[in-house]
Every structure is written in C-alpha cells, then in structure tokens.
Structure 1
Amino acid sequence: MTRTTGTNVARLWTAPGFADVRLLAASFTSYAYEPHVHDEYVLGVVEWGVQRFLHRDDTRFASAGTLYTINPGDVHAGRAEMESGYAYRAAYVSADFLREAFAGHPLADAPLLFAAPDVRDLELAGRFDRALTLLEAPGSDLLAAQSAFILTLRDLFARHARAAAADGLIRGGAAQAGRLVEYLRTHAAEGVSLDDLAAVAGLSKYHALRVFKAATGLSPHAYLVQRRVELARRAMEDGATPAEAALASGFADQSHMTRRFKAMHGVTPGAYRRQIVRP
C-alpha cells in the first residue's frame, strides 16, 4: 500500500473470484483496533512501519515483512507503535474455503492451527504481498492472481501450521464453553440473557461467565456484539443497506452498529458496502 503517513486509510472488500474471502488494505497512524475475534483465519503481511499488537494476553511487535497468522477465535488487537504508523494487507480466510482450496492435498485432512500469531518468512511474505496486490489491482490477470493466492496459502500452512483437534479452535476445549459459543452464534440477533447462558451450559451465572472468558478470551457480551457485526456484514453482502443490516442483526440502531463495525474492521459499514466486489 502506498505510504501515507499522518492518515488512517482502510479498504475492505470481497476477493474477486472468491466470494467467501475478504481482503483488507490499511494504513494507520492513530487508529487502534479493540480486542476482537474472527471466525476466519486472519492472514496478512506488514508492508511498512511497526504494529504493536495484542494476541490473547501477549503483546507483540510486527515490522515490515512480518506475516500475521492469527487462528479463528483468537482475541487480538493492534495499533501503530510509532507516530509514522504502519501499513498492512490481510485476507480473512475460512476453514471451509481452505478445505475446498486444498482438496486432494494432505492439508485438507484436518483442522490446522498456527503455533504463533506472527511469522518471519521473508520469501513467503513477499509472495503473499504480491498475491494480495494482484487481487486488488484493476486489470490483473484473474487466473494468475487467484493461483498465486492459493499456492501461497498452501505453502504458508504447510510451513507454519500444524494439525489440531477438531475442538482446538476453542481454547481449552471445554464442553460448556463450546455450547455457549454455539448458542451465541445461532441466537446473536435475538435478546440473550445470562440466565439463558447459564441454562445452556448447566452452570451458575458466575461460572458460565468465567468458563466463557477462559475459553475464548472475551466476555459473552463482547462475543455477542462481534457476532452481530458479522451478521450485519453478511446482510450487506446480500444487498441490505446499513440500516437494514443493523436491524436484522440485533443492534438497537444503525449508529451502534456503525461504531462496533468500524472498531472491528477499521472501516464504516457504508464504506464496506460500497467497496464490495462481486465475482
């Protein structure tokens, strides 16, 4: 991304030819992400500057050439470490997409997790940055761009990920936490109470809160709000306006949804809707 110090600029859109892959190109000086999670892997590369980021309970620093390898469900946040800021590109890639993309390869046989949220592999970082740039550039050869993206993903997972248990995406694998996560996923657009969660988990209210936070790194309410943001995003991808998406996803009003959407994605819902690229 072009170096533009003193500004906060981000673009989030759907990858051409990959309807379920989202791409982000961002340059930030003062903008700070709040702690949040994604259902997808967050895979990216720092192009310039240094990002200070929180991964679970660990503070880390990512400089130019660092690859982000954040697993689904891992709490993370970030901001510029220096006044000059930083820029990065990222792809949000689901496990389902990877299983399809890697079909016929051993990587498709089991869930995969990265041991660390950042990797120093300059050869792979350069390839990944070029692949993401190709997917954004107008007039790029679509076959070349898509092929470069898939092959780079294959090598990234082959070099730096490992097979994990099926429940490994929920830290700790607690059965109660898994039930709570699934309940919030399927009831996010509805009103949810702590009584509901305690009943689902078969625990006291306090214990339900503690088990959920220990397993996911977030409070149930924070997780619920982020699920609503994702419901709103998908509604807009299906053609809903931001106001319609806010209502359908359980937010009290559009302004609340706008604040939470930008805190999680770095762009406003309106900007995202304008930037969506259909295959």
Structure 2
Amino acid sequence: MEKNQDTAFQTKIWKPKFSDDITFHKAYFLNYGFDKHVHEDYTIGLIQNGHMDAFVDGEKKSLDCSTIVSVNPDETHACQTFYHKDYTLYSIYLKPTLFKELVNENFHTSELYFKDAAYFDKELSSRFLKILNFSENQYLSNLDFECELLDSVKSLVSKNVKYTIDKNISNHQSMIKRAKEFMSDNYHLDLNLDDISNALDISKYHFLRTFKDKTFLSPHNYLMLKRIEKAKELLQKGETLTNTAYICGFNDQSHLTRRFKAIMGLTPGEYKKFFN
C-alpha cells in the first residue's frame, strides 16, 4: 500500500541463508491493520516502537515493545493501530517441523503450543530486536546470527511453551480440529457447509455456530486463509500467478490478487519478488 497522509503500510520480507524454514517480516503500520486471520507457522512478533492494538488470546490487548507476541499455527489473531498512531513490527515465522526440533530437548511430544500469545518479557524482547536489527544491517556474520537467533527462540520456548494430549480435548475442540483438517485437505475445492458437516456427521447449523464461536472466523474465511497460506508457499518457490490461482482454487488471477492483498497488504506479484 502506498504511503499517504492518513494511512501507510510498508513491508520487507526475507529468509536467512541458514534455513528455508524461517521467514522474517518487517512492517510499518500507520492507521492500518489486518482483520482476524491465521498462519500455518509458529509466529514470534516483536514491536520495535509504538503500540499495537492486537486481538490475541481471544480478546483485544494493547501491546508495546515489552511484549513478545507468540502465536501458534491456526490460532486466530489480528493487528491494528490506534487512530493517528503507528508502530513497527518484526515477525519471525517458524515452520512447525523446525519449531519441534528446537523444543525437542524440553518436550517429547508433537502437540506443542505457546502458552501466552502476549508474553511479557522486556529483556528477551530487547534481545530479539537487537539481533534482528543487527542482522538487517549486516552487522552479524551468518553463523553469529544463526546462533543468537536460535538461542533466543529456545529461551522463549523454555518460558512460554506447553503441550497437550489429544485425549484431554473437549468434543467441540475435537470437532473444530477435524473441520480444520478437512478444509486444509480440500482447500482447493468449492466447499459448502453440507460438504463439511457431512464429513463431520453433524448438523451444519451446529457446525457453523460452534466454528465461529470457537475460532472467531467463519468457515469461508478460514478456507480463504488456508488458500492464501498455500499460495504463499507456491509463490516462494517461484510458481506463476496463474498456476497459483488455479492450484489454490481461486476463480482466476484477479480473485487471487484481491484476496491476497486484503490479507497480506501486498499483491501476489509483490510478495513473489521478495523470494525470486
């Protein structure tokens, strides 16, 4: 989005040389934000300056540089700015496979979660920001950056990670999990409520009400978000916009572009340029 007197969003996206399982975003927000959405990665957010009006842990919170935003895969969240306010946000996206490797020393389980989406630790937040600033300005060698970053992530994990056992989840949680899995497996199809509810063997009205109540998203919005996540993967690998739209189930390239920009703040073509 172009910067003007009232609204601005500027972003930079890159990957470190040592791992394809990590992606960095740096974004500047002025009277700009994103509605409720999800990611497939574990996300660590660091506010460099200003205040972010966030939706995390199921409620709105005002966050600053003393807080580390820790979001799990498929966890609904949103970010906004206060009127006439701005902030700069670094985001670290970690693939689930890498995250589990990092925490294997602490937890011998596959079900791992950040405990608190808004985790207060001013010292660790400052450490993350210092590392990211140094890396962005190339003040650190690749080896030094890798060691410092992974050590900081493991420090956060040791303080703010929990694990759950599937047998302890409620019936509603189990239903939501199965619904998400069904939509993730069939993101490219033109699904309707009957398709999903029949797969779950429940009433579509009960499904719709429960899904929105527990995830803060409609099934349609969730399906669109899964398509965008898949589109991001394909674009990072150099796939064409036309093929990406087709593979992900969008009507055409313009449909992909419209949905992508609404969620990412930039077009698929602009996003692709960061990786190719």
The TM-score with structure 2 as length reference comes to 0.89
Give, in whole Å, the separation in 1 of the partners of 2:140 and 2:166: 38
Aligned to 2:219: 220
Residues 181 and 80 (structure 1), Cα distance of their counterparts in 2 relative to 1, 3 Å cut: same
CA displacement at 1:37 relative to structure 2: 0.9
Amino acid aligned to 2:204:
K
Unaligned runs of 5+ in 2: none
Matches within 5 A, 1:1-279: 7-55=8-56, 57-103=58-104, 105-107=105-107, 109-138=109-138, 140-166=140-166, 174-276=173-275
Amino acid aligned to 1:205:
K
Residue pair 1:95, 1:111 contacting (<8 A) in 2 also: no
> Could you list the per-position Cα deviations for residues 213-259 of structure 1 after superposition, in whole angstroms to 9, with x for gaps in the alignment?
23432111111000110111111122112232112111112222223
Aligned residues: 272
Deviates more, 1:199-208 or 1:50-59: 50-59
Residue pair 2:81, 2:87 contacting (<8 A) in 1 also: yes
CA displacement at 1:107 relative to structure 2: 3.8
Give, in whole Å, the separation in 2 of the partners of 1:19 and 1:167: 33
> Could you list the per-position Cα deviations for residues 71-108 of structure 1 after superposition, in whole angstroms to 9, with x for gaps in the alignment?
222211111124141001011113211122344x1245
Amino acid aligned to 2:215:
T
> Could you list the per-position Cα deviations for residues 164-205 of structure 1 after superposition, in whole angstroms to 9, with x for gaps in the alignment?
33589x997633222211110011011112111111110111
Deviates more, 1:217-226 or 1:12-21: 12-21
What secondary structure does 1:174 align onto?
Answer: helix
> Could you list the per-position Cα deviations for residues 19-77 of structure 1 after superposition, in whole angstroms to 9, with x for gaps in the alignment?
12221100110221011011222201100111111125411011133211122222111
The TM-score with structure 1 as length reference comes to 0.88
Give, in whole Å, the separation in 2 of the partners of 1:124 and 1:259: 37
Residues 134 and 244 (structure 1), Cα distance of their counterparts in 2 relative to 1, 3 Å cut: farther
Structure of higher RCO (CA pairs closer than 8 Å, 6+ residues apart):
1
Give, in whole Å, the separation in 2 of the partners of 1:167 and 1:261: 37
Amino acid aligned to 1:271:
E
Residue pair 1:107, 1:158 contacting (<8 A) in 2 also: no
Unaligned runs of 5+ in 1: none
Q: Calculate percent identity across the aligned residue pairs.
A: 27
Deviates more, 1:57-66 or 1:43-52: 57-66
